[in-house]
């Protein structure tokens, strides 16, 4: 494909990921409002995440392997439309079973958009794909940073954050329509000549892929737990009002964005292993501070920021690795690890909500530390498998 055409597709894909990030990061700050509208507790309404990730798992398992045949660009376009229309419907629902059903439909779009967008950019720029996929996710992170700010502003102006979510969904629809009418018929093929030599032996594909999937299971679950519960955590453990507590969630997503900018720079200079090592070290430091700073608003905010900074590049770097290692069938291989990531996102935030309700808000800090420790162990296992390949 000609570079100008590839860059045009990259531009509009980045715009669509920006709006995708707006939607995703706005869900956490709206949990309290969703709970009120559906007459449910916070622990119960946290099931929205479970419903979304369940939909994501099903779309990635059932549809993910076919995206190589349909084309990642076409799959992304349809997925964005389903995602945005689904979340608008969630905002208007007042019956909990219907809300969960609509969140499930939203997840169908979320899961496929997550897979197709990352694989698409990895295919467009096979050389130095770590940097380009991180760049795509920088735009997602920018949207995720701005999303909670929009919610905070909407609460201040209208005492409701829902207008911000609806606006974000409409932006996503516009981005999807541009892709639909501008590039829908563009075909992007997959080739296998750019495989990394260390990952070529087929006998090691399964172990390598599953261990990388385990890494994403823990990462996505941890990211969703911190991002989804940060507002509630700060509100319950400090004297900050909800309007300010929401800004902490924005700070978390800003940190993730900065982490992905860091990944874009480091990815062009360092091997993926070194990039992930640096990021996990930063997240581990944040986890320690998270426990030590319980009840202290400054330390808690700094800890959440460091965790987000360390988390930033884990997902895009992992997706770039898969695209390089399985260049002939990136959609199929990518669906394996994204499904595992969705499972983590489906279960871990729900589990954290239950634990905090039953054992106290402080238990959530210990859970984050355990999750990040498991992330480090899974990364070590993944690298050990890669060395045997």
In angstroms, the CA 350 to CA 153 distance is 27
Instruction: Please give the domain boundaries of the chain with CATH numbers for all domains.
Output: 3-388 (1.20.1250.20)
Query: Residue 161: its pLDDT value, please?
Result: 87
Lowest mean pLDDT among 89-103, 196-210, 355-369: 196-210
Q: Rounded mean pLDDT of 171-180?
A: 88
Structure confidence at residue 244 as a pLDDT band (50, 70, 90): confident
Residue 149 has pLDDT above 90, yes or no: no
**DSSP code, position 201:** -
Percent of the chain with pLDDT over 90: 21
In this structure, of 7-11, 14-18, 84-88, the range with the lowest mean pLDDT score is 7-11
pLDDT (average), residues 357-370 = 82
pLDDT for 351 beyond 80: yes
Question: What is the overall mean pLDDT for the chain?
Answer: 82
Residues listed for the chain:
389
pLDDT category of residue 167 using cuts at 50, 70 and 90 = very high
Which pLDDT belongs to residue 192?
37
For the entire predicted model, the pTM comes to: 0.73
Distance, in Å, from the CA atom of 161 to the CA atom of 159, rounded to the nearest integer, reads: 7
Does residue 204 have a pLDDT over 60? no
pLDDT at 274 over 70: yes
Query: First-to-last CA distance in the chain?
Result: 32
pLDDT at 202 over 70: no
Cα–Cα distance for residue pair 140/77, rounded to 1 Å: 16
Residue 18 pLDDT greater than 90, yes or no: yes
CA proximity to 121, closest of 140, 106, 107: 140
Write down the pLDDT at residue 307.
93
Calculate the alpha carbon distances from 143 to 13, 150, 253, 322, 323 in Å. Answer: 13, 10, 8, 25, 24
What are the counts of helices (DSSP H) followed by strands (DSSP E) for the chain? 16, 0
Q: Tell me what pLDDT residue 193 has.
A: 40
pLDDT at position 201:
41
Torsion of CA 31, 35, 40, 43, to 10 degrees: 10
Q: How confident is the model at residue 41 (pLDDT cuts 50, 70, 90)?
A: confident
Tokens standing for 322?
Answer: 């898969």
Please give the average per-residue pLDDT across 214-221, as a whole number: 90
Site of tokens 């997925």:
79
Pick from 388, 328, 330, 381: nearest CA to 204: 388
Give φ, ψ of 41 to 5 degrees. -80, 165
pLDDT at 128 over 60: yes
pLDDT tens-digit series, residues 89-126: 999 989 999 999 999 999 999 988 988 888 888 777 77
The candidate with the shortest Cα–Cα distance to 334, out of 224, 249, 213, is 213
Q: How many angstroms separate the CA atoms of 309 and 313, rounded?
A: 8
Rg value, the chain, Cα: 19
Q: How many CB atoms lie within 10 A of CB 306?
A: 21
pLDDT of 166: 92
Say what the pLDDT of residue 196 is: 43
- Of the spans 156-160, 260-264, 285-289, which averages the highest pLDDT? 285-289
367-378: buried (b, 16+ CB within 10 Å) or exposed (e) per residue?
bbeebbebbbeb
Distance, in Å, from the CA atom of 28 to the CA atom of 158, rounded to the nearest integer, reads 18
The confidence score (pLDDT) of residue 132 equals: 81
pLDDT digits (tens, 9 = 90+) for 291-334: 888 888 888 889 999 999 999 889 888 888 887 777 677 777 77
Q: Write down the pLDDT at residue 198.
A: 38
Give whichever of 133-137, 171-175, 209-213, 294-298 has the largest mean pLDDT: 171-175
Report yes or no: 385 and 207 within 8 Å, Cβ to Cβ: yes
Single out the residue of 169, 101, 141 nearest to residue 14, CA to CA.
141
Give me the DSSP letters along 338-381. Answer: HHHHHHHHHHHHHHHHHHHHHH-TTHHHHHHHHHHHHHHHHHHH
């Amino acid at each position: 494909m000609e570079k100008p055409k590839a860059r045009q597709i990259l531009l509009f894909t980045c715009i669509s990921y920006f709006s995708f990030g707006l939607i995703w990061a706005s869900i956490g700050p709206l949990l309290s409002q969703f709970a009120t509208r559906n007459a449910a507790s916070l622990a119960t309404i946290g099931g929205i995440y479970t419903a979304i990730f369940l939909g994501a798992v099903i779309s990635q398992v059932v549809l993910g392997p076919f995206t190589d045949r349909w084309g990642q660009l076409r799959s992304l376009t349809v997925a964005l439309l389903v995602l945005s229309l689904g979340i608008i419907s969630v905002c208007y629902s007042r019956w909990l079973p219907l809300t969960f059903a609509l969140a499930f439909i939203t997840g169908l779009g979320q899961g496929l958009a997550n897979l197709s967008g990352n694989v698409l950019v990895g295919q467009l720029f096979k050389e130095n794909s770590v940097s380009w996929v991180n760049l795509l996710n920088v735009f997602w992170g920018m949207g995720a940073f701005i999303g909670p700010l929009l919610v905070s502003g909407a609460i201040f102006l209208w005492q409701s954050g829902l207008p911000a979510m609806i606006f974000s969904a409409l932006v996503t629809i516009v981005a999807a329509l541009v892709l639909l009418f501008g590039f829908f018929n563009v075909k992007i093929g997959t080739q296998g000549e750019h495989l990394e030599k260390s990952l070529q032996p087929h006998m090691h594909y399964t172990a390598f892929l599953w261990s990388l999937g385990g890494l994403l299971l823990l990462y996505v679950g941890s990211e969703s737990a911190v991002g989804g519960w940060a507002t509630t955590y700060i509100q319950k453990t400090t004297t900050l009002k909800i309007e300010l507590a929401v800004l902490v969630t924005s700070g978390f997503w800003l940190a993730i964005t900065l982490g992905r900018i860091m990944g874009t720079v480091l990815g062009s200079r360092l091997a993926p292993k070194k990039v992930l090592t640096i990021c996990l070290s930063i997240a581990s430091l944040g986890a320690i501070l998270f426990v030590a700073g319980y009840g202290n608003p400054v330390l808690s905010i700094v800890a959440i920021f460091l965790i987000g900074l360390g988390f930033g590049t884990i997902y895009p770097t992992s997706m770039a690795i898969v695209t390089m290692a399985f260049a002939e069938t990136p959609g199929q291989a990518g669906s394996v690890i994204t499904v595992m990531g969705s499972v983590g996102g489906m279960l871990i935030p729900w589990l954290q909500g239950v634990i905090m309700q039953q054992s106290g808000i402080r238990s959530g800090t210990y859970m984050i530390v355990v999750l990040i420790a498991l992330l480090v162990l899974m990364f070590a296992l993944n690298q050990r498998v890669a060395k045997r390949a």
